[in-house]
Amino acid sequence: MDEGFCVIEFFDGPHGPLSDYIHIEANPAYAEHAGIRNVVGQKLREMVGEEADSWVARYGHVLHTGESIRFEQELIATGRHLEISAFRVGPASRKQVAVLFQDITQRKQAEASLRQLNETLELRVRDANEARRVLAGVVDGADALIFIMGFDYRWIAINGSGMREFEQVFGVCPQIGDSMKDNLADQPENLAAVLAPWERALAGEEFDVVVPVEAAEGTRHYEMHFSRLNDSDGRQIGAYQFVYDITERLREQERLSVVEDALRQSQKMEAVGQLTGGIAHDFNNLLTSISGSLELLQMRLSQGRLSDVERYVSAAQSASRRASALTHRLLAFSRRQTLDPKPTNVNRLVVGMEELIRRSVGPHITTEVALAAGLWSSFIDGPQLENALLNLCLNARDAMPNGGRLTIETGNKWIDEYASRGRNVPPGQYLSLCVTDTGTGMSEDVIERAFEPFFTTKPMGEGTGLGLSMVYGFVRQSGGQVCIYSEVGQGTTMCLYLPRYYDSDEEETEPTSQSSSPRTDSRETVMVVDDEPAIRMLVIEVLEELGYTTLEAGDGAAGLKILQSDVRIDLLVTDVGLPGGMNGRQLADLARVERPELKVLFITGYAENSVIGNGHLAPGMRLLTKPFTMEAVANRIHEMIAGDRLG
């Protein structure tokens, strides 16, 4: 590696937080380029105390913003000029910055020499031989490749390094007075690559450019600095360039990029490990409750002791409900939950929750609500939005243990092209729902991880770390975005940006559910398709208990065969995720070719766009999310069949 390389790590010093850094890694080229040996373990302020503040300011900016920089700097202690690029290593919490640099002292000297040469050429432009003599004496041995060209594309001057590199790459040794076009006449691709920037320079433009050139050993990349060449009267008579071979630098940057990608993948795998570990822990607890209750239930039934049966059944049902709640929360942050969006008046929703929120946050916190007049509607799942709002308010409460002020605010927002990039949403009209607290605030590191599953700043046992993940997943699945605005000690604002709904400003109402499972006397036929035998058996037994005739199939192919027969079928109940290459939606669509009026009830564990059409089902189709109670499935089937009968 030709360039110097080091990694520095910031620490707090006498001059304040992150006011000093230590070198924790350096390559052998560091000493060669910087002129400082044995740098690993050395602290900045002990090395160059008088220069420390400027170095801390530059690299501190990289650490805090994550923006890479590139600049040139003279080391006062060694008198060397360095070309430096720096970028942050990982998150800001690691406090590490990587630095690549090379010694450009000779280049600086060459540039100074070339400026002197240009002044000389302006006075002696008619004397080409004298120009060649001056150039040869001043810059012939410079590391930079130097080329000077006239308007006729002929070489006015070339230093020795330039001639050697040109010959090595193109197989032609250029001479003063040669035409570059003639030199590369048999290499049209390379001629086009190097001719284009020369045309710009000869037109009077001064610029830097990186040009790839095909050489015998492969593609090489050259960084070229172009400038005008003027005569003594300031008139342009040509152009000149400095050329640097940066092939190795780019290769090293690519290697570093691979290392960074590997690090990010490692961090992802660590997050997956935490996620699966947390899920396994919670579900094992719930499964233990269910299996233990069923085992005791079986034991008591065999003993004829029926007094405890109801208690064991209740315990198993309670664990099942908690497992269902956990599943919904997991699906929320993974954006795979089944949503039931409707046109929603968010102001009305907030007003309906205001009393619950005040009771939940407690009397030591003052709650204020500021609702925008003329607030737009949003097409969203109302109950899920209520859960998200309550979650944000409870988080705000926990951030104010000694009391404070909680503000809930709504507003209409126009997000333009520029603002959309900062919020990572498409431009357009949104309504905002913001929760602001006057609590402890969040650091940049906490904000960066706030939406990670199972991440929490609360003590062990006081938080699952799923709350904000659930909110984020729900809002993103709904086409919106969640933004955090916070400073340590200054409180936090959490804003939900929800897309405006244009079709209607009226909120739809939920159909009232039946209080008990309805029986039927009409002997309608319901077909149940599910690859899980236990679910199929339970649904069929409930339906037959209620008086329905039932048909069943374990996969899409078997179900389609029955559906394409002439047997009476009033309603198809099908699982979404069927084996055998045909999912539930595909089965329903094929069935409707033969039975266009067939009612379909999909049952699913999570939302699939290929099945529900991005949230919109065809007429005569409904969706029921697992896990469900037998009463719920019976009521839903009755609603669909009864509606058809009444219609």
pLDDT tens string 2-59? 788 999 999 998 889 999 999 999 998 888 888 888 889 999 999 888 888 999 999 9
The type of residue at 385 is L
pLDDT 10s digits, 358-397: 888 888 999 999 999 999 999 988 888 888 898 899 889 9
Q: Which of 100-104, 548-552, 639-643 has the lowest mean pLDDT?
A: 639-643
Can you give the three-state secondary structure of 335-396, one letter per residue?
A: CCCCCCCEEECHHHHHHHHHHHHHHHHCCCEEEEEECCCCCCCEEECHHHHHHHHHHHHHHH
> Which bin fits 107, alpha (ψ -120 to 50), beta or left (φ > 0)?
alpha
Which CATH architecture does the domain made up of 525-646 adopt?
3-Layer(aba) Sandwich (3.40)
Same CATH fold, 107-245 and 4-103? yes
The reported pLDDT for the residue numbered 476 is 86
> Across residues 283-308, what is the average pLDDT?
79
pLDDT of 645 above 70: no
CA 642 to chain CA centroid, nearest Å: 47
pTM of the model: 0.40
Confidence of residue 282 (pLDDT cuts 50, 70, 90): low
CATH number of this structure's domain 342-499:
3.30.565.10
Alpha carbon dihedral 330, 333, 335, 341, in 10-degree steps, equals 90
DSSP 570: S
- Largest separation between any pair of C-alpha atoms in the chain: 119
Confidence of residue 463 (pLDDT cuts 50, 70, 90): very low
Domain ranges of the chain: 4-103, 107-245, 251-333, 342-499, 525-646
The reported pLDDT for the residue numbered 97 is 94
Confidence of residue 147 (pLDDT cuts 50, 70, 90): very high
Residue positions counted in the chain = 647
Angle at 85 between CA 260 and CA 216, to 5 degrees: 80
DSSP 179: B
Confidence of residue 421 (pLDDT cuts 50, 70, 90): confident
Per the prediction, the chain carries an average pLDDT of 82
Nearest alpha carbon to residue 583 among 563, 564, 569, 602: 602
pLDDT of 216 above 90: no
Question: In a 3-state reduction of DSSP, which class is residue 405?
Answer: strand
Q: Which residue has the tokens 């004298």?
A: 130
Q: Rg (Cα) of the chain, in Å, rounded?
A: 36
Question: In a 3-state reduction of DSSP, which class is residue 451?
Answer: coil
Assign a CATH topology to domain 4-103.
Answer: Beta-Lactamase (3.30.450)
Within a 10 A sphere around the Cβ of 48, how many other Cβ atoms? 16
pLDDT of 545 above 50: yes
Query: What is the distance between the terminal CA atoms of the chain, rounded to a whole angstrom?
Result: 80
**107-245 homologous superfamily:** PAS domain (3.30.450.20)
CATH of 251-333, picked from 1.10.150, 3.40.50, 1.10.12, 1.10.287, is 1.10.287
The reported pLDDT for the residue numbered 272 is 59
pLDDT 10s digits, 483-522: 888 888 889 999 999 999 887 544 444 444 444 555 555 6
pLDDT of 524 above 60: yes
